[in-house]
Amino acid sequence: MMRGMGNMQGMMKQMQKMQKDMTKAQEELNEKEFVGEATNQLVMATFTGDRKMKDLSIKEEIVDPEDVDMLQDLVIMAVNDALTKVEKETEVTMGKYTKGLPGF
């Protein structure tokens, strides 16, 4: 009976360590910046790891009042590129903790 309790305590310690490591990894990920780009860096969107937009840069030469649709498309491309980078990094960083867990 005591032997089973020792194993349970060991498992609990492992789980607590893993939870602490996951929290630290998530915090580090949230602090990273990810820059998404559209064609030739005409539009660049910067996001943090927690998917918050931090900056949006649009080069003057692309601003054409006659072609707002193109500017909108470039913004969407840059934002989606940045979010894709965040998602990939999240999978790499957090995947080692969630692999094999139900719902992940």
Q: Which amino acid is at 49?
A: G
Q: Measured between alpha carbons, how far is residue 104 from residues 16, 19, 57, 64, 93 in Å?
A: 19, 16, 34, 44, 14
CATH number for the domain spanning 68: value is 3.30.1310.10
- Confirm whether 76 is domain-assigned: yes
> Which residue range forms the structural domain that includes residue 76?
30-90
Number of domains in the chain: 1
- Confirm whether 54 is domain-assigned: yes
Task: Check if the beta carbon of residue 35 is closer than 8 Å to that of residue 70.
Answer: no
- What confidence score (pLDDT) does residue 21 get? 92
pLDDT tens sequence across 8-45: 888 889 889 989 999 999 999 999 999 999 999 999 99
- Confirm whether 55 is domain-assigned: yes
pLDDT tens sequence across 68-89: 999 999 999 999 999 999 999 9
* The model's pTM: 0.77
- Confirm whether 45 is domain-assigned: yes
